[in-house]
A = this chain, B = another copy of it.
Amino acid sequence: MANILLVEDDPDINAAFRLALSQRGHSVAGCFLGGEGVALATEVPGPDLVVLDLMLPDLDGREVCRRIRAVSQIPIIMMTARGDDADVVLGLESGADDYVVKPVEPYLLDARIRALLRRSSLPVAPAGESDVVTSGALRLDRKSLVTSINGEAVPLTATETRLLLELSKHPGQVRSREQLLRDVWGTDYLNESRMVDASIQRLRSKVERDPSQPKIIATVRGFGYRFDLQ
C-alpha cells in the first residue's frame, strides 16, 4: 500500500500501530523522537506519508511538522491524545494535512491515510510491494538508490537520483516543473528557472539509450515531464 513513517514516543502505542498498519498492507517504519522523525521524513527516499504524534520527548510535534514542511510536501497526519479544537487548529496550521485524536481505531486511521494519499495523487495500491522501479532497461532500487541499466550500475548524482525518484513515484503521470521544483529542490518560487530542464537533460544523458529520443522520461510540452513504465 504505502510506506509510512510513524513518529510516536510511547513504545506500546508505537508497536501497536506498526502492527495494525502493517496488517492493513502498509510498510511501516517507526521512530520515537521528533528529530529522528524529521530526518527520516526528509531523507531520500522518504516515506509516502507521516503519522506524527504531538507529544514527543525532544521536539514538539508541531515543530517537527514545520521542519518537515520547510523542505517537503509529504502528507502528514497528526495524532494526539489532546482533542481540544484549538490543538487541532494549531496542528493543521503548522502544516499537517489531517489530525486525529487518540484513541484511534486502526481502520479509521487507515481510511484517513487512504483518503490523504488519494488526494496527494500517490498511488494507493501499487501492484507489487516492490521497492524497485523498472522501465525498459532502467532499474532503480528505491532503498539502496542504485540505478542500473542492463544490470550495470549508472552513477547518478544526488539531484539526478531525487529527480528520477520523484518522477518514478508517479509513473505514467505528468509532473509539472513546479511540482518537481517543490519536491526535488524544495523551492517554491523559482518559476523562471531552467533548473528542471537542465537536470532532466543530464539525467537523460545518463539513462536514456538515445537522449534525443527519450523513452523513459517523456516531455509533455506545455505541461511538464512524465516517467513512463515500459
A contacts, CB < 8 Å to B: 73, 75, 85, 88-89, 92-93, 96-98, 105, 107-108, 111-112, 114-116, 118-129, 141, 143-145, 157-159, 161, 172-176, 178-179, 182, 220-224, 226, 228
- Copy number of this protein in the oligomer? 2
| B143→A115 contact, CB < 8 A | no
Cβ contact of A124, chosen from B75, B105, B224, B228, cutoff 8 A: B224
**CA distance in complex: A111, B125 (Å):** 23
Contacts of A175 in B (CB 8 A): 125
| A92→B112 contact, CB < 8 A | yes
| A174→B145 contact, CB < 8 A | yes
| B127→A105 contact, CB < 8 A | no
**CA distance in complex: A121, B105 (Å):** 29
| B114→A92 contact, CB < 8 A | yes
| B85→A107 contact, CB < 8 A | yes
Contacts of A75 in B (CB 8 A): 119
Other A-B contacts than A88-B108, A122-B182, 6 sampled, CB-CB below 8 A, are A119-B119, A119-B120, A119-B127, A143-B174, A144-B226, A145-B220
Closest 7 CB pairs of A and B: A158-B222, A121-B127, A89-B111, A92-B115, A143-B173, A92-B111, A124-B176
Cβ contact of A108, chosen from B89, B96, B115, B129, cutoff 8 A: B89
Contacts of A122 in B (CB 8 A): 73, 120, 179, 182
| B124→A97 contact, CB < 8 A | no
Q: How far is the CB of A170 from chain B (nearest CB, A)?
A: 8
Contacts of A120 in B (CB 8 A): 119, 122-123, 127
| A98→B115 contact, CB < 8 A | yes
Q: Which residue of B lies closest to A73 (CB)?
A: B122
Most B CB atoms within 10 A — which of A119, A126, A129, A226? A119
